[in-house]
C-alpha cells in the first residue's frame, strides 16, 4: 500500500517534493538504501527502486536513474510521488430501473444522486459499476475502461432517461447521434425543469455561448462567442405550467437541447433570470424567495437538488434503424414539488 509522503523542505523546482539532506553518517550509501531509510519504512526498498528508475528521484535537482548511485554528504535528494492511478471500476450489485434492453443497448431511468462514471471522490457506487454487474463482460472496453458503454451522461443530481451501448457498433452509432445534437433528425433530448419565476414568453430559445467561469473552474457561464473556450449552445423551452404570480411564482418548463454542453440548461435558464429551484450552483441567490411561497415554502426551500429531469429520449436504433422513443414520469421528489406549487397559498406578509 502506498503511503502519502509529506513534503520536507520544499525548496527547488519540485513542488511538493519530499527532500532529504545527506549527512556525514549516510555518505557512501546506495541511493535506494538512503531513501528507504529516510522514509522510515513508508515505502519498501523495491518500491523506492522503481521510483528511481521511473525518474521520480533527483539529487541536487538532477535526475538520478540508478538505485546503485552512492550519495555524498551535503547532497539534497528529492522524491516526487506520482499521482495514484485511478482504479478500474468493479461490478457492483446496484439496482437499475431498466426501461428497455436488447443485444445492442440498455435504456434506463437514472435516479437523482447516482453518479454516471467513476471519478475523484466517486470511485465506487456509480452507474458504470452497476452496469458492469448487470451486463457482465459485454461492456468490457466499449468506450474506454472507465466509461464502458457510456455515450452521454446526466449530472449526479439530474434524473431521467439514459441509453448505454453494449457493443462497439452501438457505441459508434449512438455517439454519432449525440454528436449531431439532433441536427440530422435522429435524436431528441427533452427535459422538464421547475424554475423560479415565469418566463415572459411561453415559448422561447436561449442561444448563448458557454465557457468556464473565471471565478470557479468547475462552473460554466455565458461568455462572448469569440472567447477561445466559447462553445455554441442553444436551448429551446416551453412553459408547461405556471404557479403564483409576480415575485412569488415558479413554473414547470420543458427544455429541448439543440446542443449538449455541460450544465447547459442550468446555465441558460439562470441567464434569463429563471434558474432551477434547488440549484445551489447557479441559483442559490434565489433561495430567499422560498419563504414567500407560504404553504409550499418548506418544500421549495428544502428541495435537495436542481429540479431537472430528462423525461424524453428519442434516437435511431443502431442495428435496425428503428425510431426509438422513451419517456418517464417525474420522480417522486419532483412530483411532490410540483404538487406543492400547484396548490400553495402565498405568504400574506
What CATH number is given to the structural domain containing 68?
3.10.290.10
- Are 276 and 306 a contacting pair, CB within 8 Å? yes
Higher pLDDT, 262 or 159: 159
**Residue 270: CB partners within 8 Å, gap ≥ 6?**
276, 279, 282, 283
For 312-334, how does the pLDDT look when each residue is reduced to its tens digit (9 = 90+)?
A: 999 999 999 999 999 999 999 99
Whether residues 199 and 331 share a domain: the answer is yes
**Residue 141: CB partners within 8 Å, gap ≥ 6?**
148
Q: What is the mean pLDDT of residues 47-74?
A: 90
Catalytic residue status for 155: yes
pLDDT band at 117 (very low <50, low <70, confident <90, very high): confident
- Are 319 and 104 a contacting pair, CB within 8 Å? yes
Q: One of 26, 32, 109, 155 is an active-site residue; which one? A: 155
Domain count, the chain: 2
Q: At how many degrees (to 10) do helices 31-38 and 45-53 cross?
A: 120
Cell numbers for 347: 405568504
Distance in angstroms (rounded) separating the CA atoms of residues 184 and 123? 36
Whether residues 75 and 201 share a domain: the answer is no
pLDDT band at 263 (very low <50, low <70, confident <90, very high): very high
Domain boundary, last residue among 79, 106, 122: 79
pLDDT at 198 over 80: yes
Cell numbers for 73: 554528504
pTM (2 d.p.): 0.75
For 14-54, how does the pLDDT look when each residue is reduced to its tens digit (9 = 90+)?
A: 345 788 999 999 999 999 999 989 888 778 888 899 899 88
For 227-239, how does the pLDDT look when each residue is reduced to its tens digit (9 = 90+)?
A: 888 999 999 999 9
Q: Sheet with 18-21: list strands edge to edge.
A: 18-21, 76-79, 57-59, 62-63
What is the β-pairing status of strands 308-316 and 159-165?
A: parallel
**CATH number of residue 234's parent domain:** 3.30.2350.10
- Considering 35-44, 205-214, 269-278, the range whose residues carry the highest mean pLDDT is 269-278
Range of the domain at 66: 18-79
Residue 321 falls inside a structural domain: yes
Residue 35 falls inside a structural domain: yes
Residue 99 falls inside a structural domain: no
Four-point Cα dihedral 145, 114, 334, 302, nearest 10: -140
Q: What is the mean pLDDT of residues 249-266?
A: 95
Q: What is the mean pLDDT of residues 253-260?
A: 94
**Radius of gyration in angstroms for the set of CA atoms belonging to the chain, rounded to a whole number:** 27
pLDDT at 251 over 70: yes
Per-residue pLDDT at 349: 60
Beta bridge partner(s), residue 109? 161
pLDDT at 254 over 90: yes
How open is the CA angle 183-306-114, to the nearest 5 degrees? 85
Per-residue pLDDT at 81: 83
Amino acid at each position: 500500500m502506498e503511503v502519502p509522503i509529506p513534503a520536507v523542505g520544499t525548496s527547488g523546482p519540485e513542488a511538493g517534493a519530499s527532500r532529504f539532506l545527506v549527512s556525514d553518517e549516510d555518505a557512501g550509501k546506495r541511493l535506494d538504501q538512503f531513501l528507504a531509510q529516510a522514509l522510515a519504512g513508508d515505502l519498501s526498498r523495491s518500491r523506492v527502486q522503481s521510483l528511481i528508475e521511473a525518474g521520480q528521484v533527483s539529487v541536487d535537482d538532477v535526475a538520478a536513474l540508478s538505485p546503485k548511485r552512492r550519495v555524498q554528504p551535503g547532497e539534497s535528494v528529492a522524491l516526487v510521488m506520482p499521482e495514484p492511478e485511478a482504479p478500474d471500476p468493479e461490478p457492483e450489485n446496484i439496482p437499475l430501473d431498466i426501461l428497455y434492453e436488447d443485444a445492442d443497448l440498455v435504456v434506463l431511468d437514472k435516479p437523482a444522486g447516482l453518479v454516471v462514471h467513476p471519478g475523484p471522490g466517486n470511485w465506487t457506487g456509480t452507474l458504470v459499476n452497476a452496469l458492469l454487474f448487470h451486463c457482465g463482460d459485454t461492456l468490457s472496453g466499449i468506450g474506454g475502461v472507465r466509461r464502458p458503454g457510456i455515450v452521454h451522461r446526466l449530472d449526479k443530481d439530474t434524473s431521467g432517461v439514459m441509453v448505454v451501448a453494449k457493443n462497439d457498433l452501438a457505441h459508434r452509432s449512438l455517439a454519432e447521434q449525440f454528436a449531431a445534437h439532433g441536427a440530422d433528425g435522429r435524436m431528441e433530448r427533452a427535459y422538464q425543469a421547475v424554475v423560479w419565476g415565469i418566463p415572459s414568453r411561453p415559448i422561447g430559445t436561449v442561444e448563448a455561448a458557454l465557457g468556464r467561469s473565471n471565478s470557479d473552474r468547475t462552473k460554466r457561464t455565458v461568455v462572448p462567442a469569440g472567447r477561445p473556450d466559447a462553445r455554441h449552445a442553444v436551448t429551446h423551452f416551453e412553459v408547461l405550467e405556471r404557479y403564483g404570480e409576480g415575485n412569488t411564482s415558479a413554473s414547470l418548463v420543458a427544455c429541448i437541447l439543440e446542443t449538449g454542453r455541460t450544465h447547459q440548461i442550468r446555465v441558460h435558464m439562470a441567464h434569463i433570470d429563471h434558474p432551477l429551484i434547488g440549484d445551489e450552483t447557479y441559483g442559490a441567490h434565489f433561495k430567499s424567495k422560498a419563504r414567500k411561497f407560504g404553504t409550499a415554502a418548506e418544500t421549495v426551500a428544502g428541495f435537495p437538488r436542481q429540479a431537472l429531469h430528462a423525461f424524453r429520449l428519442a434516437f435511431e436504433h443502431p442495428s435496425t434503424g428503428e425510431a426509438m422513443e422513451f419517456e418517464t414520469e417525474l420522480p417522486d421528489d419532483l412530483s411532490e414539488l410540483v404538487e406543492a406549487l400547484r396548490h400553495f397559498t402565498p405568504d400574506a406578509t
